[in-house]
Amino acid sequence: MAPDLYSFHVTWFKVVLALFGLVILVILLAPVLGSVPVSYNLRSIRARWTSTIVAVLGIAGTVGVFVAMLSLARGFEATLVASGSPGNALVMRAGSTSEMMGGITLDSIRVLQDAPGVARDSSGSPLITQDVLGVFPVPLISTGTDANVQVRGVSPNVLDVRKFIKITQGRMFQAGLSELVVGTNATKTYQGLTVGNKIDFGGGHWQIVGVFDAGGSAFDSEVWCDSRNLNQVLQRPPNIFQSATVHLSSADAFQEFKDTVVRDPRMNVDVWREIDYYAKQSTRMTTLITYLGGIVAAIMAIGAIFGALNTMYSAVAERGREIATLRALGFPSWNVTLSFLFEALMISLLGGVIGCLAVLRLNGITTNTMNFQTFSNVAFAFRITVDLLSWGIFFALVMGILGGLLPAIRAAIRPVAVALREL
Amino acid sequence: MKFARIIFANLLRKKVRLLLTIGSFAVALFLFVFLGVVRDAFNRGADVASADRLIVINRTSIINSIPLSYRDKILRIPGTKAITHNNWFGGTYIEEKNFFVQFVIDPENQRQVFPEFVVPDDQWNAFLKDRVGAVCGAKLADRFHWKIGDRIPIKNNMYDAKNSAWEFNLDGIYHGKQPKDDETQFWFQWDYLEERVSQGFKGQVGWYVLRVDNPDDAPRIAKAIDAEFANSPYETKTEAESAFAAGFVKQFGNIQTLILSIGSVVFFTLLLVTGNTMAISVRERTSELAVFKAIGYSDLTILFFVLAEALTIALIGGAVGMLLAASAIPGLAIALSGLLPSIVLAPSMLLFGLAAAILTGILSGIVPGLTAMRLRVVNALRRV
Amino acid sequence: MVKVDGNGGQSSLIQARDLDKTYRRGGEDIDVLQGLNLDVEAGEFVAFMGPSGSGKSTLLNLLGGLDVPTRGRITVAGDEITHMSGGRLTEWRARHVGFIFQMYNLIPVLTAFQNVELPLLLTKLSKAERRAHVETALGVVGLSDRMHHFPRQLSGGQEQRVTIARAFVSDPTFLLCDEPTGDLDRKSADDVMAIIEELVSKYHKTVLMVTHDPLVAARANSILHLEKGVLVEGRHSPQETAAGGVA
């Protein structure tokens, strides 16, 4: 989750979470600690199965929405972050907030080529790609209306710089020709981006010669060509690029590379670890989804807690005589309280599990959206991880406690005589 | 109504349960309205688009520019009323997360083409005379607590290699005529941009916005414009503002589906909760209902009692939910304005929420109501 | 006059002919009433007695239009109710019958006043008229000072008295009581019976009552025993005679 969200309340939040965790642990141990036997709870649940189902579903729905929205945000972030390699550095004009804004001259590229830490291929050439970026409208397969696809003009040796990218169909474009290779997601998202097809943009005809797999990163939604051809189409000066990506000899070489380049008086650039840059690119969208999802989940949680409260109160009311009898027999109040809390937790645990199972099917389903920061369309997938599911279950248990506490206390403090008299 | 006493007395039978059910209702309806508002915010562009406006962009790519010289040629096409041009500035105000939309505008024609944005004449005149003047929307001013006369620094390293801050004087604040109009934009003068950009960037606009005399004429004019500049280095693509905006919205993928899904989950769960509460309440009262029937209350009347109870809960809960929405959403709008501008609670949304509440009330009362209706006195009063 | 042989003639207010009622229970058919006949004239106070399960309540339910017989005919004040549709029957009940059950009579969330008012809400009377009737009825049963109490604030006997008030407030053709004193102590039972007797003697109401208590039954004008699905006359049941008289 975006770190900004909890900047003030991180410590407090952690303390509260830990407390809840402790309470949950204690309650889950209730049968061992000596609450009223679990069979009473099971029988009670069966007797009021409609109310129980309602509470379970309320919690399941809330957890489902919670996990789904967060996995959407995570998926978007993961897609972008996956675009970066730890061994690569991104260089852009100083102050650029994104590649689109950047500008690097060929002279600056030459300075980079001589900097320490730059990896070289077998023939000694530096592994650097100078990129040019554009967006072009192409109809979406899903709606038929245009979306902006990111076209990236790269250096012909780009596959040596971004080593995790592989051509899976056809071949790489030839330097200087009007040829394109398209990302795996781009093929699936836009009309006509298949090997062998010709498409028109920028007043030129382009031949699609290959498909590449970029490991589920943002690159998978892009279309690549030779940067010189793209500069022509965009009517930009031929020797100016928007960013340069450098493959470093090792991840540790980053600091030395950065220091050298930034201090060079001929250069006016920022140097990023590629991973850090892409993580930042995702923040606005991720934050938006997380905020919206958080608000929705919080509201639903309140509703779910009400549902749980309803169920638990009716449980307490219905078992009034039984409770009174138990207490008259000598079961201390806290046993009774613990028993009801245990029941509440069982119900919410079930709800949490159902909610998680229900949204599990979403994992891997792709959708696309426009990234505000780059103005282009990015395909990404729901990304449900084990820790996200654990948070979902924890969330369910917290709702269970909040919904079960008051009724459980009421069960314990109701005067025995009154309860016995009630029919 | 003479049965009101009976209905209310029944509702107040178990106060805690009543409060919880009303609470669930309030929460669900608040969520309904919130989701609806978010959906509207995403669709906003298409919503406020004017039928008599066209957008002209570079056909090759939306981020490519078009020459200023096209303006007069476009105006010569019959049926055009007024034209203005905008550039996207995309600068940073102090920090990246303070993002807001910045347009470079053509002040002379701005008000003719965008009559929905209203600026007091004295402020506008001050702006016209001020080379480094700026006008911003009321909501944007609220967000950063700007006042007329403040100096607003904005950096943009694309236009300024030194990435120095361009300082603007806030000369005016505009208001939208309708609540849903976007009041989060920041405008400054095209002449100033021209002055400061390097030679390679001069004389270029981002896009044109054009008003036509007759909306029915729009397709013809659009075609004429594109034909005029076909085969030139800067080919154009002209479409109605609503189509342009709708295209944007579609790029947000399955937002509608997502919102619909969540909305359905909420609605369904709510139905369950209230339906269950009604069912429990009916079950508890079997013998009483039997007495009513024995006295001579018809089956339909009993059904009516149950439905009325369900509806009362729904309406009270719904009203509370609407109140919550009306008070909380403006605050949420401000908090989210950097991420998703134009979150507005329209009165029609509240009406929609009310309708949803009524529908849910009836639906949740139907099944328990039918059970109560079909109850046979002899079975209910059978001595144990 | 009360007759059980089917020769009642035209003067009966309530008339049952050849009543059969069969239940299906546990896969078997149980014939509760078999060819039962009854004639009751206006102003009569009849007690029905019989062993448990003999069908006393069933008979009461049939006469009150809460159930339909398997065979036979029931006529009240000239209306044959056996073939009335559900809706008509409900309307008929509202106008002609007052019920007093053993328990669960009163709606706990309504006051005594509101409970008594219930039958009147089905009429076209104005609020003021309704209030007048309710106050009168509560006066007759001696509970004017407890009008605005809830049932949980009343004793068992008082609750039954409120029930009686409700049963006759809309001036029905006859009253049906099913074990009206079943749960009450001796004193309360006496109070309740005194009021019912007053309804008959002073206000000329027709009352049909089911009871297992011979002392209660003794206060009626006629006692009928339900045996083998039909009614038999006599102040004492054959069992009682065999046991050596009234307990």
Q: What's the pLDDT at A421?
A: 57
Q: What angle do CA B164, B165, B171 make, to 5 degrees?
A: 155
Across-strand partners of A343?
Answer: none
A419: pLDDT strictly greater than 60: no
Distances (CA, A) of A2 to A97, A278, A289, B242, C132: 18, 13, 10, 34, 72
What sign has the CA pseudo-torsion A159, A161, A163, A165? Answer: negative
Residue A179: which residues within 8 A CB-CB, separation 6 or more? A173, A206, A207, A208, A209, A225, A226
Q: What's the pLDDT at C247?
A: 42
Which one of A282, A299, A362 would you mutate to disrupt binding with B, by most B Cβ within 10 Å of its Cβ? A299
Which chain B residues touch A97 with a CB distance below 8 Å?
Answer: 92, 96
- Tell me which of A267, A300, A334 is where a domain ends: A267
Q: What's the pLDDT at B384?
A: 35
Residues A12 and A59 in one domain: yes
Which chain B residues touch C54 with a CB distance below 8 Å?
Answer: none
What is the 8-class DSSP label of residue B164? P
Alpha-carbon distance A171 to A209, whole Å? 6
Residues A110 and A200 in one domain: yes
Q: What's the pLDDT at A53?
A: 86
Whether A326 is covered by a domain: the verdict is yes
Residues A279-314 pLDDT 10s = 887 787 788 888 888 888 888 888 888 888 888 887
Tens of pLDDT, residue by residue, chain B (384 residues): 788 888 988 888 888 888 888 988 888 888 888 888 888 887 777 777 777 899 999 887 777 889 999 999 998 889 888 999 999 888 888 887 788 889 999 999 999 899 999 999 999 999 999 999 999 999 889 889 999 999 999 988 777 777 788 999 999 999 988 877 888 899 999 999 998 888 877 889 999 999 988 888 888 899 999 998 888 888 899 988 888 887 777 777 666 777 788 888 877 877 887 788 888 888 888 888 989 999 999 999 999 999 999 999 999 999 999 899 888 888 887 777 767 777 778 888 888 888 988 998 899 899 899 999 988 888 777 643
Query: Residue B103 class from Cβ within 10 Å (0-12 exposed, 13-18 middle, 19+ buried)?
Result: middle
Contact C37, C89 (CB under 8 A): no
Residue type, A92: M
Averaged pLDDT, C185-205: 91
Confidence of residue A423 (pLDDT cuts 50, 70, 90): very low
In terms of C-beta distances under 8 Å and separation of at least 24 residues, what long-range contacts does C188-197 make, across chains too? C188/C155, C188/C156, C188/C157, C188/C160, C189/C157, C189/C213, C189/C216, C191/C157, C191/C161, C192/C157, C192/C160, C192/C161, C192/C164, C193/C219, C195/C140, C195/C141, C195/C142, C195/C161, C195/C164, C196/C45, C196/C164, C197/C45
A72–chain B nearest CA distance, Å: 11
- Beta-strand (E) ranges in A104-143? 104-105, 128-139
**Of the spans A313-322, A398-407, C234-243, which averages the highest pLDDT?**
A398-407
Where helices occur in A251-332 by DSSP H, the ranges are: 254-263, 274-281, 283-318, 320-329
C68–chain B nearest CA distance, Å: 11
Question: Least CB-CB distance to A370: which of B21, B23, B252?
Answer: B252
Residue type, A154: V
Residues A395-416 pLDDT 10s = 899 888 888 888 888 877 776 6
Alpha-carbon distance C77 to C177, whole Å? 19
| Residue of A175, A185, A172, A178 lying closest to A138 (CA atoms) | A185
Which one of B12, B15, B379, B381 would you mutate to disrupt binding with C, by most C Cβ within 10 Å of its Cβ? B381
Q: What's the pLDDT at B312?
A: 93
Residues A237 and A298 in one domain: no
Residues A75-91 pLDDT 10s = 888 888 788 888 899 99
Residues A171 and A47 in one domain: no
- Is A169 an interface residue toward B (CB < 8 Å)? no
A192: pLDDT strictly greater than 50: yes
Q: What's the pLDDT at A201?
A: 77
Confidence of residue A1 (pLDDT cuts 50, 70, 90): very low
| Number of domains chain A is built from | 2
Confidence of residue A180 (pLDDT cuts 50, 70, 90): very high
Which is more confidently placed, C48 or A95? Answer: C48
Q: What angle do CA B182, B187, B190 make, to 5 degrees?
A: 140
Contact C94 B294 (CB under 8 A): no
Which chain C residues touch B2 with a CB distance below 8 Å?
Answer: 121, 127
Q: What's the pLDDT at C119?
A: 93
Phi-psi region for residue C43, left (φ > 0), alpha (ψ -120 to 50) or beta? left
Averaged pLDDT, A245-264: 89
Residues B320-367 pLDDT 10s = 998 998 888 888 877 777 677 777 788 888 888 889 889 988 998 998
Residues A244 and A331 in one domain: no
Averaged pLDDT, A208-215: 92
Alpha-carbon distance A346 to A400, whole Å? 8
Which chain A residues touch B24 with a CB distance below 8 Å?
Answer: 303, 306-307, 310
Residues A117-131 pLDDT 10s = 888 888 888 899 999
* Residue A51 structural domain: 3-82+283-421
Which chain A residues touch B38 with a CB distance below 8 Å?
Answer: 292
Whether A154 is covered by a domain: the verdict is yes
Alpha-carbon distance A245 to B111, whole Å? 45
Q: What's the pLDDT at B338?
A: 67
Q: Which two tokens stand for residue A208?
A: 């699609």
- Tell me which of A267, A294, A320 is where a domain ends: A267
Residues A127 and A261 in one domain: yes
C8: pLDDT strictly greater than 80: no
Chains in touch with C (3+ beta-carbon pairs under 8 Å) read B
Contact B154, B163 (CB under 8 A): no
Q: What's the pLDDT at A7?
A: 55
Interior/surface letters A242-269, b for 16+ CB within 10 angstroms, e for the rest: bbbbbbbeeeebbeebbebbeeeeebbb
Which one of C52, C59, C66 would you mutate to disrupt binding with B, by most B Cβ within 10 Å of its Cβ? C66
Q: What's the pLDDT at A420?
A: 59
Strands B66-67 and B204-205: antiparallel
Averaged pLDDT, C77-82: 88
Which chain B residues touch A134 with a CB distance below 8 Å?
Answer: 61, 63-64
Tell me the domain boundaries of chain C. Answer: 2-24+31-243
Alpha-carbon distance A169 to A289, whole Å? 34
Whether A278 is covered by a domain: the verdict is no
Residues A236 and A149 in one domain: yes
Which chain A residues touch B248 with a CB distance below 8 Å?
Answer: 370
Residues A107 and A224 in one domain: yes
C102–chain B nearest CA distance, Å: 9
Distances (CA, A) of A246 to A105, A259, A389, B27, C147: 15, 14, 37, 52, 92
Averaged pLDDT, C28-52: 88
C88–chain B nearest CA distance, Å: 9
Query: Residue A333 class from Cβ within 10 Å (0-12 exposed, 13-18 middle, 19+ buried)?
Result: middle
Residues A50-76 pLDDT 10s = 778 888 888 898 898 889 888 888 888
Residues A327-346 pLDDT 10s = 777 778 788 888 888 888 88
Q: What angle do CA B187, B192, B194 make, to 5 degrees?
A: 115
Residues A148 and A195 in one domain: yes
Taking the CB of residue A168, how many other CB atoms lie within 10 A of it?
11
Which chain A residues touch B157 with a CB distance below 8 Å?
Answer: 93-96, 101
**Mean residue pLDDT across chain C:** 87
Determine the topology of domain C2-24+31-243 in CATH: Rossmann fold (3.40.50)
Distances (CA, A) of B205 to A197, B90, B127, B208, B256: 33, 14, 21, 8, 33
Residues A147 and A236 in one domain: yes
Q: Which two tokens stand for residue B256?
A: 């509608």
Residues A78 and A112 in one domain: no
Alpha-carbon distance C226 to A202, whole Å? 103
Residues A121 and A150 in one domain: yes
C236: pLDDT strictly greater than 70: no
- Closest residue, chain B, to A66 (C-alpha): B262
Q: What's the pLDDT at C238?
A: 52
Q: What's the pLDDT at C245?
A: 46
Cα end-to-end span (Å), chain C = 26
Query: Residue A39 class from Cβ within 10 Å (0-12 exposed, 13-18 middle, 19+ buried)?
Result: exposed
Q: What's the pLDDT at A97?
A: 76
Whether A67 is covered by a domain: the verdict is yes
Confidence of residue A418 (pLDDT cuts 50, 70, 90): low
A17: pLDDT strictly greater than 90: no
Averaged pLDDT, C123-142: 92
Cα end-to-end span (Å), chain B = 37
B304–chain A nearest CA distance, Å: 23
Which one of A67, A101, A200 would you mutate to disrupt binding with B, by most B Cβ within 10 Å of its Cβ? A101
Whether A18 is covered by a domain: the verdict is yes
Q: What is the DSSP string of A158-177?
A: HHHHSTT-EEEEE-PPPTTS
B254–chain A nearest CA distance, Å: 7
Identify how many contiguous H helices and E strands chain B contains and give both numbers.
Answer: 15, 12
Alpha-carbon distance B171 to B161, whole Å? 27
| Residue of A414, A391, A418, A349 lying closest to A59 (CA atoms) | A349
Taking the CB of residue B310, how many other CB atoms lie within 10 A of it?
26
Averaged pLDDT, A172-192: 90
Q: What's the pLDDT at C63?
A: 92
